């Protein structure tokens, strides 16, 4: 078991361990590794079972490789967003523009990332029956042969085929292969040394446990070829919580925090209850008022789930080596949620500000719009606004100056909208107009003039 200096309580670790053991038992998985991290640092982990049933000497722990399968898609999505930020593509570009010779019209990058393109789920050829996956030429000809089974953005429909094409687009725009781009752009700079396309020891065996016996059957190691970008990576608990630490607090030199936030914005609900949604390459799960982002993965002999909650910086993780292991998303989130609720990180102490710009002083205090109260204040030298009736944990709006008596909402409510200051002849502030709505010192109806 591993813990950071910021250790969890004994009661918490006991409950987490019990949860991990129960998950291993209910999934009948020969090996399970589970963990909870905060800001990318592992707080707790537990290894249950045996890594390799034929070789008891294989260690099972934070550094043991499992197939993380479709968690690979989170890496492919980040590569696409890097290329977008570099101006090499737009999310509204279509495949036929970026990959000449493809014939499906108007399939956009955005649709592919969010699984709303309507394209069929898998490459042509019954690949999960034959276990033979296409080469680059076969991927393109197969794309042209594949069906668009639904109207675009009509329903969420998972597509490994689309993520295979996204990998091809990365390769073409970046001048090499998807694997080379992944290594150079993400794995090397983030020091994810145990995240690989070919398994590197120590790694778990791959098993299937039939329903009417408790004797595992070994699963084959698949060669995913050009579908690797959809789900071929092997990794470890340590590497994957480091990856989620990056997604929680990205290095600007690798990917803008604004871009990662964009990836976490829902593009479509994936279930009737609106508890599961999809962003740009990220699965979004709503549990007990919190939104967890991440992904699950499933391959022969490998089921994994990694989910993070942005506000607390908490990651829950589970890795299993049985093909039909149960509910990886639910298990990962259950682990993380228990820590968030029962052993939260202590809040940062309040610290005084040091800057009070003179031009902001006349703008602070109580203002009204449509009769509703807002409080404008100075925080860390910037103008902020809070809707008085909003829940206490709602982020304030933060404004950046944009010329004389004009500001742009940088974050929070009305993000992107302008705030314009209007003054009387004597220079005093008469009103604001924020996103065109009038703000005055007294509550006024729409037809009442500003004093």
What digits encode the pLDDT tens for the residues 4-50?
435 899 999 999 999 999 999 999 999 999 999 999 999 999 999 99
Q: Are 225 and 292 members of one domain? A: yes
Query: How far is residue 267's CA from residue 108's CA, in Å, rounded to a whole number?
Result: 13
Neighbouring residues of 36: CB distance < 8 A, sequence distance ≥ 6: 8, 16, 42, 43, 44, 45, 314, 315, 316, 317, 335, 336, 338, 339
Does 3 score more than 50 pLDDT?
Answer: no
Q: Does residue 53 belong to any structural domain of this protein?
A: yes
Q: Does residue 5 belong to any structural domain of this protein?
A: no
Instruction: Report helix, strand or coil for 368.
Output: strand
Q: For residue range 401-412, what is the model confidence (pLDDT) as tens digits?
A: 999 999 999 999
Domain span at 378: 358-439
CB count, 10 Å around CB of 28? 18
Q: What is the pLDDT of residue 4?
A: 42
Q: Which two tokens mark 285?
A: 């799960």
Q: Are 180 and 99 members of one domain? A: yes
Q: Are 337 and 362 members of one domain? A: no
Q: What's the whole-number mean pLDDT along residues 84-93?
A: 98
Q: Does residue 209 belong to any structural domain of this protein?
A: yes
Residue (of 280, 258, 277, 237) closest to 112 by Cα position: 280
Q: For residue range 351-381, what is the model confidence (pLDDT) as tens digits?
A: 999 999 999 999 999 999 999 999 999 999 9
Q: Are 319 and 396 members of one domain? A: no
Q: Are 270 and 380 members of one domain? A: no
Q: Model confidence at 1, in pLDDT bands (50, 70, 90)?
A: very low
Q: For residue range 273-331, what is the model confidence (pLDDT) as tens digits?
A: 999 999 999 999 999 999 999 999 999 999 999 999 999 999 999 999 999 999 999 99
Q: What is the pLDDT of residue 6?
A: 55
Q: For residue range 203-219, what is the model confidence (pLDDT) as tens digits?
A: 999 999 999 999 999 99
Burial level of 36, CB count in 10 A (0-12/13-18/19+)? buried
Total domains, the chain: 2
Q: What is the pLDDT of residue 7?
A: 82
Residue (of 155, 271, 168, 145) closest to 226 by Cα position: 168
Q: What's the whole-number mean pLDDT along residues 248-273?
A: 97
Of 291, 309, 342, which closes a domain?
342
Of 282, 310, 342, which closes a domain?
342
Q: Are 149 and 84 members of one domain? A: yes
Cis peptide before 202 (omega within 30 of 0): yes
Q: Does residue 45 belong to any structural domain of this protein?
A: yes
Q: Are 227 and 289 members of one domain? A: yes
Q: Model confidence at 265, in pLDDT bands (50, 70, 90)?
A: very high
Q: Does residue 321 belong to any structural domain of this protein?
A: yes
Q: Does residue 450 belong to any structural domain of this protein?
A: no
Which domain CATH number covers 390?
A: 2.40.128.50
**What percent of the chain is predicted at pLDDT more than 90?**
96
Q: For residue range 104-161, what is the model confidence (pLDDT) as tens digits?
A: 999 999 999 999 999 999 999 999 999 999 999 999 999 999 999 999 999 999 999 9
pTM of the model: 0.94
Q: Does residue 337 belong to any structural domain of this protein?
A: yes
Q: Are 335 and 362 members of one domain? A: no
Q: Does residue 1 belong to any structural domain of this protein?
A: no
Q: Are 306 and 367 members of one domain? A: no
Which domain CATH number covers 304?
A: 3.40.710.10
Q: Are 85 and 211 members of one domain? A: yes
Q: For residue range 58-68, what is the model confidence (pLDDT) as tens digits?
A: 999 999 999 99
Does 2 score more than 90 pLDDT?
Answer: no
- Taking CA atoms, 346 is separated from 8, 38, 245, in Å, by 12, 12, 18
Does 95 score more than 50 pLDDT?
Answer: yes
Q: What's the whole-number mean pLDDT along residues 173-181?
A: 97
Of 342, 369, 404, which closes a domain?
342
Q: Are 377 and 239 members of one domain? A: no
Q: Are 337 and 369 members of one domain? A: no
* Contact (Cβ atoms closer than 8 angstroms) between residue 38 and residue 361: no
């Amino acid at each position: 078991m591993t813990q950071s200096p910021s250790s969890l309580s004994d009661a918490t670790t006991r409950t987490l361990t019990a949860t991990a053991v129960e998950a291993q038992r209910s999934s009948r998985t020969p090996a399970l590794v589970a963990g909870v991290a905060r800001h990318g640092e592992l707080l707790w982990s537990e290894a249950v079972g045996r890594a390799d049933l034929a070789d008891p000497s294989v260690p099972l722990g934070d550094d043991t490789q499992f197939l993380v399968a479709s968690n690979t898609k989170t890496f492919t999505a980040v590569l696409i967003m890097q290329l977008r930020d570099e101006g090499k593509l737009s999310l509204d570009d279509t495949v036929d523009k970026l990959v000449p010779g493809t014939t499906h019209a108007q399939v956009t990058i955005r649709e592919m990332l969010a699984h709303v393109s309507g394209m069929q789920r898998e490459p042509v050829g019954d690949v999960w029956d034959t276990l033979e996956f296409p080469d680059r030429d076969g991927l393109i000809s197969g794309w042209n042969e594949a069906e668009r089974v639904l109207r675009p953005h009509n329903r969420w429909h998972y597509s490994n085929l689309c993520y295979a094409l996204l990998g091809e687009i990365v390769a073409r725009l970046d001048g090499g292969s998807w694997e080379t781009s992944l290594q150079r752009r993400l794995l090397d700079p983030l020091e994810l040394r145990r995240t690989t396309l070919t398994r590197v020891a120590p790694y778990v065996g791959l098993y299937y446990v039939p329903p009417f016996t408790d004797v595992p059957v070994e699963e084959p190691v698949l060669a995913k070829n050009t579908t690797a970008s959809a789900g071929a990576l092997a990794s470890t608990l340590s590497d994957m919580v480091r990856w989620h630490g990056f997604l929680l607090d990205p290095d600007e030199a690798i990917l803008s925090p604004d871009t990662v936030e964009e990836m976490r914005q829902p593009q479509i609900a994936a279930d009737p209850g609106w508890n599961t949604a999809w962003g740009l390459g990220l699965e979004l799960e709503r549990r007990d008022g919190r939104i967890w982002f991440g992904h699950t993965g499933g391959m022969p002999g490998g089921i994994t789930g990694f989910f993070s909650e942005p506000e607390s910086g908490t990651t829950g993780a589970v890795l299993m080596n049985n093909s039909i292991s149960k509910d990886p998303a639910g298990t990962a989130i259950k682990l993380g949620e228990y820590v968030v609720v029962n052993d939260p990180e202590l809040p940062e102490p309040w610290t005084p500000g040091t800057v009070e710009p003179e031009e902001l002083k006349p703008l602070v205090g109580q203002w009204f719009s449509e009769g509703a109260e807002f409080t404008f204040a100075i925080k860390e030298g910037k103008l902020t606004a809070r809707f008085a009736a909003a829940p206490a944990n709602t982020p304030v709006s933060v404004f950046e100056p944009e010329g004389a008596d004009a500001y742009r909402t940088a974050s929070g409510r009305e993000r992107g909208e302008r705030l314009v200051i209007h003054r009387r002849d004597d220079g005093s502030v008469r009103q604001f107009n924020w996103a065109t709505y009038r703000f005055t010192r007294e509550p006024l109806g729409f037809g009442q003039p500003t004093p």
